[in-house]
Amino acid sequence: MKKISARMTRQPLAVLLLVAVLVGAGSGVGYAATRHPAVQSRATAKPAALVWHNLHLLNGATSSGSSNHAISKNPGNPQYAVSSQGVVYLAGGIVGPSNSSLPAFNLPVGARPGFYDCFTIYSFDSSYNQQVGALHIYANGDGEFQGAGASVFDSLSGVSFVIGH
């Protein structure tokens, strides 16, 4: 009797697997799975639009849009938005208070982290050179800037955190 090669025994298995895949795809199982109402509603659901609110500025801090300085592109008024998933987004620019140990803004209850958090931001010093700064946000909602540009210009762009975390 002839010895059956391993290649010959694997071929029928591969053919059988290929036929099963083709029959399953043509049977409508894949079509039905993508047309189920739950799958369709998730695929077409759009996230809720963010609603932006002006930040409550403190201690003489002002919007970079209302100040007269040499920033070529104004990032807009300092604002916050809260997503339906509980993520807080900050945007805009602030000319901080002259005393950088005082808070520049306060976030309302419902838009605060649950603890102290620190973020790297960009700012400009008094010669309008870009600098790396820090934004400290405390559990009580106070936001303080630190760095060479703390009282000249601070950007909130890219700052986000989860409420209470």
Question: Is residue 23 domain-resident?
Answer: yes
Count of structural domains, the chain? 2
Q: What are the phi and psi torsion angles at 109 (to 5°)? A: -55, 140
pTM for the model: 0.67
CA dist list (Å): 80 to 17, 42, 88 = 55, 27, 7
Tokens of 40: 């369709």
Question: Is residue 1 domain-resident?
Answer: no
Question: Is residue 40 domain-resident?
Answer: yes
56-57 sheet: strands from edge to edge: 56-57, 105-106, 142-146, 130-137, 117-124, 153-155, 93-95, 62-63
Q: Which domain holds residue 23?
A: 6-44
User: Which pLDDT value is given to residue 2?
Assistant: 56
pLDDT one digit per residue (tens) for the chain, 165 residues = 555 555 555 566 566 555 565 555 555 545 454 555 555 555 566 778 899 999 999 999 988 865 555 554 567 889 999 999 999 999 999 988 888 789 999 999 999 998 999 999 988 887 878 889 999 999 999 999 998 777 788 899 999 999 987
CA dist list (Å): 28 to 19, 32, 39, 147 = 15, 6, 16, 62
Residues 38 and 64 in one domain: no
